[in-house]
């Protein structure tokens, strides 16, 4: 498949995913997980996935914000205040980006 068709496939699946925003926060031994990175970010996702499946990183919090306003939130037991704060920040960032794009299109149409 060409790069353009890759991009179009990704765009199509992304547009479908715009209806919901997923934000997840993991914690653990990040340095061990990223040991094989060697400044090459291409395999970062794989390393992070391996870190999650290998038990080096554990899910602390997960939030799913739907376009109709529904929110599904998962928080691990005994989550620290700082961790919660970082997660909330990430949720706010994601919300802001999504609403900026939606507002721009609604303004222009």
Partner 1 sequence: MSLNALGSAIDNSVSDGRLPDVFSPQEPYKLYRRRLRWLGYLSEEDGPERLDSKLRKALVSFQQDAALKVTGNPNKNTFNMLDVLVGFEPSKQNLKLIGTIEESNISLKKARKLRLSMYGLLPKGINANPIQTSRALSTFKNLLISLAVPGINKASASKKLDIFLFDLDAVTTKIKGIGHQFQIVVPKEIKKNAKEKFLIQADIFLRNIASIELWLYGYDVKINRLARGKTNIDSALTSFWKDAPGSERPSKKYQKYVTAKFFQRINALQDIDNEQERELSKEVLERISSKNEDEFRENIEKEGKNIFSRLWDGLKRAAKFLFDLFKRGGQALASFAKSAARWLVSSARSIFKHISIVFKVTKIGFEYAVRKKFVSEPNASIVTSNHFDFDRNSYIDMSGDFSEIKKETQRQILASKMFSAGLKIIAALTKLLKSIAQIISTTWLLLFWSLCSLKDSFVWLIEASLKAKELLHNWDSLIENPKS
Residue 21 is classified by DSSP as E
Residue with tokens 């900026």: 100
Window 45-74: residues binding partner 1 (CB under 8 A): 45, 48, 51, 57, 60
Cβ proximity to partner 1: between 27 and 75 the closer is 27
Compose the 4-33 pattern: x for residues touching partner 1 by CB under 8 A, - for all others.
Answer: ------xx--xx-xx--xxxxxxxxxxx-x
Give the C-alpha distances (Å, rounded to integers) separating 36 from 16, 25, 28, 97: 34, 22, 16, 31
Candidates 45, 33, 82; CA nearest to 60 is 82
Nearer to partner 1, 2 or 95 (CB): 95
- Which residue of 6, 46, 66, 97 would you call a contact of partner 1, by CB under 8 A? 97
Q: By the 8 A CB rule, do 63 and 53 touch?
A: no
Cα 82 → chain centroid: 18
Rule CB under 8 A: which residues touch partner 1?
10-11, 14-15, 17-18, 21-31, 33-34, 37, 39, 41, 44-45, 48, 51, 57, 60, 82-83, 85-87, 89-90, 92-94, 96-101, 103-104, 107-108
């Amino acid at each position: 498949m060409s790069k353009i068709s890759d991009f179009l496939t990704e765009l199509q699946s992304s547009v479908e995913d715009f209806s919901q925003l997923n934000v997840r926060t993991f914690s653990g031994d990040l340095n061990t997980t990223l040991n094989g990175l060697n400044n090459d970010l291409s395999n970062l996702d794989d390393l992070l996935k391996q870190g999650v499946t290998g038990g080096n990183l554990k899910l602390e919090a997960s939030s799913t914000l739907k376009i109709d306003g529904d929110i599904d939130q998962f928080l691990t037991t005994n989550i620290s205040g700082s961790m919660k704060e970082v997660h909330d920040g990430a949720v706010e960032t994601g919300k802001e980006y999504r609403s900026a794009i939606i507002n721009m299109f609604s303004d222009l149409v």
